[in-house]
Structure 1
């Protein structure tokens, strides 16, 4: 090692005495010979140290880091990055059919870990002088990010790219280059499950995406008439359109990670129509759109999205098509259907929900009440009832419970809170809490009578036809039963004022008729 270091120092000293016109080439020849040495004569640790000494003696020496010699230093650092990159490409070719990384006959530079260490050391040396080597520092960071990405170290790759100065006044950075780096950082952070950090850089990308020619169009090859696009080269326009699609995909994924499922469904569905995207990927985006629409908060906005998706002929081939149809038609989703749909979800779509302080206290009281209520049946030897939840525990639970509440408004005129809780497998307090939230958010129109424990659905929610064009039936006010078997006259959509009166009169007439029938039976039995 000592002799190798002495030889390297002597060669670099001799190169430093040459004129500036030939000095950079002399440095490059020394570096190439250094990188080509086999592992048997120059180990990985020795190579990393030798490259560090090389940079100290060339790029960051007093001769090449200031004044007229700065040009030589910049050229040498650029050549250094290119030489490391070429060695990495050589590794890919040499490694075909050979997986022995420790072969002593191979140069140590062919190991990606060694390349990573060399580049990290180079960046540490450049950082104090980054203003003088800004362009070279950017090239080194892009190269190091490529290595981190190939090693699937997404967070480190994003962190390296975040250090690139894009708003520096010392060099001009095109909007296309800014968008390319921002979008790449967003993609890496999403791979690392850092949706918050990805959202920060997506906002930065949103400030430049409209300045990049072609980035706002929906097709890579489609025509564009904007003035900025007309003045740009065809290759820049093509790159801008590709980055625009990546930007939209990142936006959809962030919306999905942030549980903004309605917005995510719209973005995914738009991307599923882009012809330049691979057919398999478009199918995956359509599937993601369907899943997000089902998980979206129940209400008018989701109904519009569901209507658009149901009309898409491609949806019929997806595994979510059955539950999509039931959600679209405002039908109650059963537990077995929810369990089948849950198997198709991503982990973040099944995440546990956090609880506020007051909700936790309510849950504690409800658990105590439930435990007391279950003590008596247990003492009598009856079978244990299924566990009743105090509140939705996951994102999927909340979405399905809210949907079933909306579906109930299509069936019932009113229902007890206890009955609604039985339908949703919730306690009475839990059912009231989730309904109250939907009312406050304007996603359902209803009134809660806390004295009688009764939920009454108002006209606008019970009189409108469903998304599938079906009339709204009338249900019973008893808890949790199947009230879909209403008479035909009750299932007919009626007007605002007189319709309610006619329906109410019909209910009174049926009740009176049933009462008269019961009285006549009692009279006949007493005579017998």
Structure 2
């Protein structure tokens, strides 16, 4: 420490500019020497005007330190704590660099924690909205890598307040993709499907990445709760000419055409899924298993006008009570149109023509009224 500080004092005595300090910096390579250098620089009598560009160069210089970079940057941030207000911009750069080190080591939560320590709203330095969005998006991405969806959502909400001010197309793309990933992790699969599909159509996204987004959309669509809303997104995906390239297309086609899913195809599809997409739910079944059962029930409802619960259970390979509960829940939620006769042990499905829930019927009536109003308007003559 003494030799480094003495040399800094010698440089200071000649009333130099930042260049003289930087030249000396480039002669150092040992971690201990660099840490001593950082401690000495913030104390130079030339003041912050000279020290700021020197410290900025110091952070950049650490890129060539390989294994020692983490140690030096941690020590530098500790040094800067003493004068954070004076060297906020330099601390910002050091945190970005340390987060990069952790990201390269796949220590994503550590990277996020370092970025969370940034003072983005202090007012001492001018940080643009684009820079803030970039930091928030990066934190979200790091937390999602370690499946901390709750923490990621907190920072995504902060980002949402600024994204409309952002002029960086790349950050807007990352923001939307992060939204999709959070919906996916939270098992809000319909919302995730819409976001992924939106990204698959985004021209700012690379062609290969668009196809990956389309693949992600097809996975979450298949895992979504069976019913009219899912059928809508399935239609969009199935009619997209790119979908035939996807490894999920066979299952996607069976769902779109309301055919009972082949178990071998389901098994192959399961191998493509992420761990959270295969996690057990509260009722002891996986998301995939539930989605398959519900879809197959819808497929059965299009073949049979009525069927006994034991027959349903036998066709789908499920327990009798599970068949009863699943059908009852789908009817209650408006995703399956029918009624249950518990005395006879049968379920009666409504015809396809009447297979509309209350909301859908209301929308149909509104369309009819709108058409009548439009027809009446055409017949009106002004004299």
Q: TM-score, normalised by structure 1?
A: 0.63
**Aligned partner of 1:181 among 135, 140, 151:** 135
What do you get for the CA RMSD once the two structures are aligned? 2.2
Maintained 8 Å contact 2:170/2:204: no
Distance 1:266 1:453, change over 3 A: same
Structure 2 CA distance, aligned partners of 1:166 and 1:273?
A: 33
Task: Indicate yes or no: 2:111 matched with 1:157.
Answer: yes
Matched residue, 2:28: 34
Contact 2:139 2:155 survives alignment (8 Å) = yes
Q: Are residues 1:72 and 2:66 paired? A: no
CA 1:316–1:58 in 2, change beyond 3 Å: closer, same or farther?
A: closer
- Runs of 4+ deviating beyond 3 Å: 23-26, 461-465
- What's the secondary structure of 1:34's corresponding residue? coil
Asked whether the equivalents of residues 169 and 204 of structure 2 are also in contact (C-alpha less than 8 Å), the reply is no
Quote the Cα distance in structure 2 between the aligned partners of 1:145 and 1:423.
54
Q: State the partner residue of 1:302.
A: 230
The answer to whether residue 80 in structure 2 is matched with residue 123 in structure 1 is no
Give the superposition deviation at 1:77.
2.1
User: Corresponding residue for 1:509?
Assistant: none
Provide Cα deviations, 1:280-304, integer angstroms capped at 9, x if missing partner.
2222222221121111111111111
Kindly state the Cα deviation for residue 463 of structure 1 after the two structures are TM-superposed: 4.3
Q: Hey, what does 1:312 align to over in structure 2?
A: 240
Q: Deviations over 1:177-208 (max 9, x none)?
A: 11111112222222222222222221111111
Q: After superposition, where does 1:322-337 map in structure 2 within 5 Å?
A: 322-337=250-265
For 1:462 and 1:278, how far apart are their aligned partners in 2?
A: 43
Aligned match for 1:450, one of 342, 357, 360 = 342
1:6 is displaced (CA, Å) by 4.5
Q: Could you tell me how far apart the structure 2 residues matched to 1:462 and 1:402 are?
A: 20
Q: Deviations over 1:203-238 (max 9, x none)?
A: 11111111123xxxxxxxxxxxxxxxxxxxxxxxxx
5 Å matches for 1:7-86?
A: 7-19=3-15, 22=16, 24-35=18-29, 47-59=30-42, 61=43, 64=45, 69-85=47-63
Tell me how far 1:137 sits from its aligned partner. Answer: 0.6
Find the aligned partners of 2:54 and 2:246 in 1 and give their Cα distance: 56
Q: Do 1:15 and 1:23's aligned partners in 2 also have CA atoms closer than 8 Å?
A: no
Aligned match of 1:340: 268
| Partner Cα separation in structure 2 for residue 200 and residue 158 of structure 1 | 13
Instruction: Summarize the alignment of residues 101-500 of structure 1 with structure 2, pairs less than 5 Å apart.
Output: 109=65, 111=66, 113-213=67-167, 240-355=168-283, 393-459=285-351, 463-464=354-355
TM-score by length of 2: 0.86
Given that 1:413 and 1:462 are in contact with CA atoms closer than 8 Å, whether structure 2 keeps it comes out as no
Per-residue deviation at 1:72? 3.2
Is the 2:337–2:355 Cα contact (8 Å) retained in structure 1?
Answer: no
Structure 1 gaps of 5+ residues are 36-46, 89-108, 214-239, 356-390, 466-528
Distance in 2 between residues matched to 1:266 and 1:9, nearest whole Å: 59
Instruction: Provide the residue aligned with 1:231 in structure 2.
Output: none
More helix by share: 2
Rg comparison, structure with higher value: 1
Across the two proteins, how many residue pairs are aligned to each other? 356
Q: Which runs of 5+ in 2 are unaligned?
A: 357-383
Deviation by residue 1:242-282 (Cα, 9 ceiling, x = unmatched):
21112112222222222121122222222222334332222
Give, in whole Å, the separation in 2 of the partners of 1:295 and 1:462. Answer: 26
C-alpha spacing 1:135/1:53, structure 2 compared with 1 (3 Å): same
Cα shift at 1:462: 6.7
Deviation readout 1:23-70 (Å, 9 max, x if unpaired): 6444323322123xxxxxxxxxxx3322222222221x3x55xxx723
What is the CA-CA distance between 1:328 and the residue it aligns to?
A: 0.9
Question: Take 2:323 and 2:282, find their aligned partners in 1: how far apart are those partners?
Answer: 17
Indicate if the aligned counterparts of 2:34 and 2:72 stay in contact, CA closer than 8 A. yes
Q: Aligned partners of 2:6, 2:80: CA distance in 1, in Å?
A: 24
